[in-house]
């Protein structure tokens, strides 16, 4: 017929049982009448094994002051990027139409995780790698409840170094609470340059034959007529400093020699002052500016 609660009579300082007729039955006049009859019958009994009835009463059903208080949610507030095992909810005051109020909350002891996994990318590093460099991907995702940790390549798998150009490597992680994080590092892949002339030997004024090959990390010659090599600049270094120089020739394309499988570029040094020079050039899709040096007496 209803529910029974154990309660404390604060006025007389004693433990009592409170029986409440359910709302559905309380709306039925027959059940209310039966409830009252039982109360009157029990009140006339006096036996050690029968509860003593102290009082009975009727709530006229004044209801809540705010109908929305019949069901509500208490929430925790935890700063993003933090994790705590003792988060507390907020509180809410609930009142009836007669202004009798009670406060719900705060409720403590909640484990709230707002901290995303920490990603560390060890390899690739933010640097240049030679073509066909055998470097492997290495990264970690640290979290108390890490769920996923996936990169552009699996841990220990080879990095993409098959061709020159810029690259990016991304790792995404998710923890058991649904927090996500992402980390990206950029690196580049470039050709190695093998000089086929003596860079330490000073040259007399005249024509200086600059000859180079493009190689990978193993020293394998990758030079090919399909890879266009273009001169981009010439700098001069002396005791007075380093200066950009005008090119002695308007032809800036370095010629490929199929016999030697190398690139050759002839520099006319008749008008160049004595000193050390750095010839700058680019090759194909390689974004790196490569250099070789030579000296003029």
pLDDT score of 116 more than 80: yes
pLDDT score of 73 more than 80: yes
36-40, 53-57, 190-194, 215-219, range with the lowest pLDDT = 53-57
The span from the CA of 195 to the CA of 183, in Å, is: 38
Nearest alpha-carbon partner for 286 in 212, 215, 234, 219: 215
Nearest alpha-carbon partner for 234 in 296, 293, 274: 293
The arithmetic mean of pLDDT across residues 150-179, rounded, is: 96
Longest dimension (CA), the chain: 132
pLDDT band of residue 21 (cuts 50, 70, 90) is confident
pLDDT score of 219 more than 80: yes
- Residue 250 has what pLDDT? 62
pLDDT score of 60 more than 70: no
Domain boundaries, the chain: 2-63+92-110, 118-190, 192-296
The arithmetic mean of pLDDT across residues 76-85, rounded, is: 88
Say if domain 192-296 classifies as CATH 1.20.120: no
Q: What is the mean pLDDT of the chain?
A: 90
**CATH number, span 118-190:** 2.60.40.10
- Give residue-wise pLDDT tens across range 236-281: 988 888 899 887 666 788 999 999 999 999 988 888 888 999 999 9
Higher-scoring residue by pLDDT: 40, 229: 229
Nearest alpha-carbon partner for 110 in 137, 92, 83: 83
pLDDT score of 88 more than 90: yes
- Residue 48 has what pLDDT? 83
Structure token digits, residue 63: 């209801």
The span from the CA of 59 to the CA of 136, in Å, is: 75
- Answer left, alpha or beta for residue 11, where phi above 0 means left and psi between -120 and 50 means alpha: alpha
Strand-strand pairing, 202-203 and 290-296: parallel
pLDDT band of residue 61 (cuts 50, 70, 90) is low
pLDDT score of 212 more than 70: yes
pLDDT score of 77 more than 70: yes
């Amino acid at each position: 017929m209803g529910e029974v609660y154990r309660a404390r009579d604060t006025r007389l300082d004693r433990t009592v049982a409170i029986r409440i007729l359910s709302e559905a039955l309380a709306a039925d006049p027959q059940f209310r009448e039966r409830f009252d009859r039982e109360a009157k019958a029990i009140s006339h009994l006096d036996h050690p094994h029968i509860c003593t009835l102290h009082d009975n009463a009727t709530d006229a059903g004044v209801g809540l002051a705010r109908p929305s208080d019949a069901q509500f949610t208490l929430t925790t507030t935890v700063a993003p990027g933090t994790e705590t095992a003792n988060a507390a909810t907020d509180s809410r005051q609930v009142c009836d139409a007669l202004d009798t109020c009670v406060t719900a909350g705060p409720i403590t002891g909640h484990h709230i995780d707002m901290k995303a996994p920490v990603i560390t990318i060890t390899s690739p590093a933010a640097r240049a790698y030679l073509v066909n460099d055998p470097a492997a991907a290495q990264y970690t995702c640290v979290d108390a409840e890490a769920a996923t940790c996936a990169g552009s390549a699996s841990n220990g798998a080879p990095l993409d170094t098959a061709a020159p150009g810029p690259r990016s490597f991304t790792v995404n992680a998710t923890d058991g609470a649904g927090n996500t994080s992402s980390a990206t590092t950029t690196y580049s892949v470039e050709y190695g340059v093998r000089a086929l002339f003596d860079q330490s030997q000073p040259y007399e004024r005249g024509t200086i034959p600059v000859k180079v090959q493009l190689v990978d990390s193993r020293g394998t010659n990758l030079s090919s007529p399909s890879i266009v090599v273009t001169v981009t600049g010439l700098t001069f270094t002396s005791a007075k400093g380093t200066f950009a120089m005008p090119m002695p020739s308007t032809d800036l394309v370095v010629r490929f020699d199929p016999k030697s499988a190398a690139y050759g570029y002839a520099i006319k040094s008749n008008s160049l002052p004595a000193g050390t020079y750095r010839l700058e050039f680019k090759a194909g899709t390689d974004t790196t500016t490569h250099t070789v040096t030579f000296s003029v007496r």
